[in-house]
Every structure is written in C-alpha cells, then in structure tokens.
C-alpha cells in the first residue's frame, strides 16, 4: 500500500470494520490490502446499496415536485466536491479557487456544512475573519475553520446552503462569488459552476454506498463544468512547517515557519510522533517518508473531536521530542493550551492549478 513502508505504533484507528470496508471498495485499484469479506457480508452490502438507489429515486422525485434550487442574481456560486466518501482534496481545491479569484479582485465568500460541528444542526451563521479568534473549530467544523483561517474570508456554516448564502449576503454587501466546500450533493442552492475532484482512487469499485464508496452514481461527467484530477490539474505539495504553539494560545498571526530542508535536518535527530486524523492518513505519512524522516505513525479517526487530548496522552507516554501533524489536525489545538502544543509542528501545503488551467477557469468564472 505504501511505496516506502513507515514505522507504525500499535495504535489503530477506531473502527476496524471501516478499514476493511474501504479495502473492499478500493481493492480493484490497488489502494489497499485485499478485503476478507465473505459472501454473506457482500450480499448484505449489496442489499443496502439497493436501498440507497431507492432512496435516491424517492429524493429525486421529491425535489422535482418541490420548489427548484434557489438562485441569487449577481452572485456566482461555485460548488466543489467529489463523488466518493472521504477526502479527495475538495477543501484544498476550494481554498485554491478562493485565493485565485481573490487575486483577481473579486469579492468572495465561503459556504460550508460545518460537518460534525454544532453549526451543522442549527441555523446558518456567518463567521467574519475578525471573529475567528472568538470561534472554536468544534463550533463550525475543523474544515470550515481551516478554510476561513487560510483564506481570510467570511464563511457561512449550516446544513442549508441557500440559507447560508442569504446570511452571507446580509453580512457581505457586494458579494460576487460564493464557494461551496463539499457542495456537489446538496440540492438547496443552484450552482453556476460545478467542480469535481478525483484523486488516485478514482471511483473505487463503482458502486454506491455502502457496497462502494460513491455518494452518487458516476453517470456522465459532462454534468460537471470542471473535472480536476489531484496531482494532475491541481497540485498539492508540502510547503513548510508551522509551530502550532501560538495557535494553541489563540494567536492566528505570527506563527513561526520552518523550511522543509532545514527542518528535515533537525528532525532526523529527534524521536518523532506523526499524527493524522484525516480521511487518508497514509498520504501524510508518505510525505514524511519522502522527506527521509523516521517516525511512529498515529492514525486517528477523521474529524476526531478528542484528537488533541489523544495526542497529548500518546506524546507523554512515548517520550517523543516532537509531534508532526497535518494543518487540519492542528486547528483542533486552537485555544487548548496543552503541553504538547509547544513541541508540535503542522505541515502547511501549497495548492495551485496548472497556469493554463487557472487562466481558463478565471475566464469561465467571470464570463458566466
């Protein structure tokens, strides 16, 4: 599974069945070990997939009989997402689009569901950049918090994206572009541009959940305005390390940066714990291996609300010099003044499109 095996601790992610299920989904594309599911489990999953198809048909019929998705004149809505469960790079892509359009002088805002946060179950709310220091990641979701922090833009969070856009318009007069992170499967707000992200796993075994990883059938990809392949059209590369100690004290500015080459030289002499509480932790571990680092790997559940405390406990037990983590994991330490924060770095990544693609996308966004 890994081009260069990395040392692992005895820790495992919380749900062994989930690990086996993902192996089953992606075994045909060589993205994991072969599954051990017997005929009984496969038939059960196939039955549940059939129910998923029926549910989708009922939902489609209901939406046809109800009011159409909302449109807001004068605001270009860009929906970014993927077809499979788990991270394919949709949030980094949303950030790249926001940065790209911001450089063009367009007034942008972000909209997020606020997955696994308090905001997901309440009315839409808007967080302005200046209010981010008073907002905890668990209030609006770690991905939404990271997006708002990195982009420096207002973000609306809540399950109803149309309500989120209305709230955003009240707070941001003259809004020109609204970017929906993970917005392809929602039906409340019409999108002017639909961006599909595909990573190296493709569409797995091509089946709907739970027999396969698909949220919706692949169908004809012509329904998307842009189909972008991770590491082809959109490039996500390690950039530098940031010291998260100021972040844990609630400081969003002035985080000390460490370049990759100098940091690798220093880290090679230390006992390291690498933490990844994301959908695909192996990506992070592979990046560290490519830097020539030896470490103990601690994969945790995606969106784990107790990640900071788990890392503190493991760091103390293992007598590590430093903890390395993804930037998405680092936001969970915001305003948590834990001892481990003073010994932790987060890897920041640079996200960009190919130059000709970026030019075409900007032209397409402005023309519509």
Alpha-helical segments (H) within 244-306? 245-248, 260-267, 281-290
pLDDT in tens, 60-98: 888 778 878 888 899 999 999 999 988 888 999 999 999
> Is the same domain home to 21 and 105?
no
Arithmetic mean of pLDDT, 305-330: 95
Instruction: Identify the domain containing residue 166 by its residue range.
Output: 76-234+353-367
Report if residue 313 sits inside a domain.
yes
> Is the same domain home to 218 and 117?
yes
Smallest CA-to-CA distance from 9 within 215, 252, 358, 294 is with: 294
Number of domains making up the chain: 3
pLDDT at 307 over 70: yes
Q: Which two tokens stand for residue 81?
A: 């997402």
> Is the same domain home to 183 and 275?
no
> Is the same domain home to 156 and 114?
yes
> Is the same domain home to 241 and 347?
yes
> Is the same domain home to 174 and 229?
yes
Instruction: State the CATH number of the domain containing residue 321.
Output: 3.40.190
Smallest CA-to-CA distance from 82 within 159, 184, 178, 160 is with: 184
Report if residue 70 sits inside a domain.
no
Report if residue 50 sits inside a domain.
yes
pLDDT at 337 over 70: yes
pLDDT in tens, 226-265: 999 998 889 999 999 999 999 999 999 889 999 999 999 9
> Is the same domain home to 202 and 345?
no
pLDDT at 311: 97
Report if residue 100 sits inside a domain.
yes
Lowest-confidence pick of 201-215, 329-343, 346-360? 346-360
Most confident of 4-18, 182-196, 331-345: 331-345
> Is the same domain home to 142 and 285?
no
Q: Are the CB atoms for 288 and 278 separated by under 8 Å?
A: no
Does 210 sit behind a cis peptide bond, omega within 30 degrees of 0 on the bond before it?
yes
Alpha-carbon span 165 to 76, nearest angstrom: 11
> Is the same domain home to 209 and 81?
yes
> Is the same domain home to 151 and 247?
no
> Is the same domain home to 339 and 210?
no
> Is the same domain home to 159 and 215?
yes
pLDDT in tens, 203-212: 999 999 999 9
């Amino acid at each position: 599974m890994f081009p260069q095996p990395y040392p692992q601790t005895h820790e495992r992610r919380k749900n062994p069945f989930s690990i086996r299920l993902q192996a089953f989904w992606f075994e045909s594309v060589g993205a994991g070990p072969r599954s051990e599911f017997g005929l009984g489990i496969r038939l059960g999953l196939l039955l549940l997939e059939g129910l998923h198809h029926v549910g989708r048909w009922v939902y489609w019929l209901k939406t046809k009989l109800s009011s159409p998705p909302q449109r807001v004149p004068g605001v270009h809505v860009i929906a970014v997402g993927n077809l499979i469960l788990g991270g394919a790079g949709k949030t980094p892509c949303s950030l790249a689009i926001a940065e790209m359009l911001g450089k063009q002088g367009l007034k942008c805002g972000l909209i997020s569901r606020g997955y696994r946060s308090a905001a997901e179950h309440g009315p839409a709310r808007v967080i302005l950049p200046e209010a981010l220091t008073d907002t905890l990641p668990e209030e609006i979701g770690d991905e939404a918090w990271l997006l708002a922090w990195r982009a420096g833009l207002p973000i609306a969070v809540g399950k109803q994206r149309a309500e989120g856009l209305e709230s955003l318009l009240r707070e941001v007069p003259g809004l020109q572009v609204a970017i929906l992170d993970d917005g392809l499967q929602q039906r409340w707000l019409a999108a002017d541009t639909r961006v599909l992200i595909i990573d190296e796993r493709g569409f797995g075994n091509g089946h709907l959940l739970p027999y396969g990883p698909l949220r919706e059938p692949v169908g004809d990809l012509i329904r998307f305005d842009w189909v972008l392949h991770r590491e082809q059209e959109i490039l996500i590369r390690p950039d530098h390390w940031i010291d998260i100690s100021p972040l844990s004290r609630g400081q969003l500015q002035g985080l000390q940066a460490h370049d990759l080459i100098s940091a690798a030289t220093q880290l090679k002499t230390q006992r390291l714990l690498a933490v990844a509480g994301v959908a695909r932790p192996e990506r992070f571990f592979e990046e560290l291996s490519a830097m020539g680092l030896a470490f103990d790997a601690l994969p945790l559940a995606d969106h784990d609300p107790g990640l900071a405390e788990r890392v503190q406990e493991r760091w103390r037990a293992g007598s590590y010099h430093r903890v390395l983590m993804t930037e998405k994991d680092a936001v969970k330490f915001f305003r948590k003044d834990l001892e481990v924060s003073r010994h932790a770095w987060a890897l920041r990544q640079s996200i960009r499109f190919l130059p000709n693609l970026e030019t075409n996308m900007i032209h397409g966004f402005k023309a519509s």
